[in-house]
Chains A and B, each alone.
Chain A
């Protein structure tokens, strides 16, 4: 009898291991790329925190605006002080849900298309967005890749007319994450 119980407990623990479906990272990489007639600008942030729960489909991302690194110091200063006002709005967040959870099987290594719907908050403005990307399971890690456009005007970010040819009205945001199971 005792043996059976022990076996049951071990089996249950094993199950819990296999279906540990919460994944987390604190150093994801998000970068954006602005293509304009006069110059191309990119900025990288490799301190993105994110949790994805595959049992519910819940997805959460957060990052610090000041952690975006630009090639030129002055650009970084202007970005923080004049455009996104990161003293007042230090964080950007995304909270949403994976829409096609049924098509994603964490127990099988491989690549799965994923669709996420949720709320993106930048510069104190929150918008509904829908993003398509892919989830890959490999070597015990979960990788997430996605690219989506962000129209800066949607988030009340004002670009003065003088630099209109230097900064794109729509920037491409790239998401590249590597999660560990929790």
Chain B
């Protein structure tokens, strides 16, 4: 009886250890395979943040968003990551999509005027609404 209890305890400890190790080493999920929480136009997303930043934060922060829009700027951050700004031609601000350096290959080839779909995690609004860890969504 005591022996059984001991084995149970050891198993429980092992299980806990494995779960802990799994959590500790958990990588960021690959966004390419994830379903977005919201899909919308870049300009609609910006308009929502501009109208009420707090409400938009509550709705979108940390969520995976898929936005579509026209590329206005393609630039490289000093760390090698590509930044796309999606906004209509006559607007000052829009949605800034930031790609990690290792995810930037495809985004680097885009030029202003191209229409794109981008998935990324919403991190809030500075001048533009910012999306992080972005990936390009292939046109189906």
What B residues does A31 contact at CB under 8 A? 79
From A66, A69, A72, A74, B61 is in contact (CB under 8 Å) with A66
Contact, CB under 8 Å: B79 / A46 = yes
Against A, the Cβ 8 Å flags (1 = close, 0 = not) of B37-63 are 000000000000000000001000110
Cα–Cα distance between A63 and B77 once the two chains are bound (Å): 14
Cα–Cα distance between A96 and B77 once the two chains are bound (Å): 23
* Closest CB in chain A relative to B86 CB, distance in Å: 13
Given the known interface contacts A49-B127, A66-B61, the answer about A26 and B24 at a Cβ–Cβ threshold of 8 Å is no
From A29, A66, A74, B77 is in contact (CB under 8 Å) with A29
**Is A130 at the interface (CB under 8 A from chain B)?**
no
Contact, CB under 8 Å: B128 / A73 = no
Contact, CB under 8 Å: A64 / B77 = no
Select from chain B the residue with minimum beta-carbon distance to A46. B77
Contact, CB under 8 Å: A46 / B83 = yes
Contact, CB under 8 Å: B123 / A47 = yes
Contact, CB under 8 Å: A67 / B98 = yes
**Is A84 at the interface (CB under 8 A from chain B)?**
no
Cα–Cα distance between A73 and B133 once the two chains are bound (Å): 12
Task: State the interface size on chain B (CB cutoff 8 A).
Answer: 30
Contact, CB under 8 Å: B78 / A49 = no
**Is A44 at the interface (CB under 8 A from chain B)?**
yes
From A46, A74, A178, B81 is in contact (CB under 8 Å) with A46
Contact, CB under 8 Å: A64 / B133 = no
A-B contact count (CB 8 A): 80
* Closest CB in chain A relative to B13 CB, distance in Å: 18
Contact, CB under 8 Å: A28 / B100 = no
**Is B27 at the interface (CB under 8 A from chain A)?**
yes
From B23, B78, B79, A74 is in contact (CB under 8 Å) with B23
Contact, CB under 8 Å: B98 / A47 = yes
* Closest CB in chain B relative to A176 CB, distance in Å: 4
Against B, the Cβ 8 Å flags (1 = close, 0 = not) of A132-163 are 00000000000100000000000000000000
Contact, CB under 8 Å: B78 / A177 = yes
**Is B85 at the interface (CB under 8 A from chain A)?**
yes
* Closest CB in chain B relative to A158 CB, distance in Å: 21
Given the known interface contacts A67-B98, A67-B123, A91-B126, the answer about A47 and B132 at a Cβ–Cβ threshold of 8 Å is yes
CB within 8 Å of B: which A29-68 residues: 29, 31, 44, 46-47, 49, 62-64, 66-67
Cα–Cα distance between A68 and B108 once the two chains are bound (Å): 21
What B residues does A64 contact at CB under 8 A? 123-126, 130
Q: Can you list 21 A-B pairs with a CB-CB distance of less than 8 A?
A: A26-B126, A27-B75, A27-B81, A28-B77, A29-B77, A29-B78, A29-B79, A46-B77, A46-B79, A46-B81, A47-B98, A47-B123, A47-B130, A64-B125, A64-B126, A66-B123, A66-B124, A67-B124, A67-B130, A73-B29, A143-B78
Known interface pairs A47-B83, A64-B123, A66-B61; 9 further A-B residue pairs with C-beta atoms within 8 A, sorted by A's residue number: A27-B98, A28-B77, A46-B98, A49-B126, A63-B126, A64-B130, A69-B133, A76-B28, A178-B78
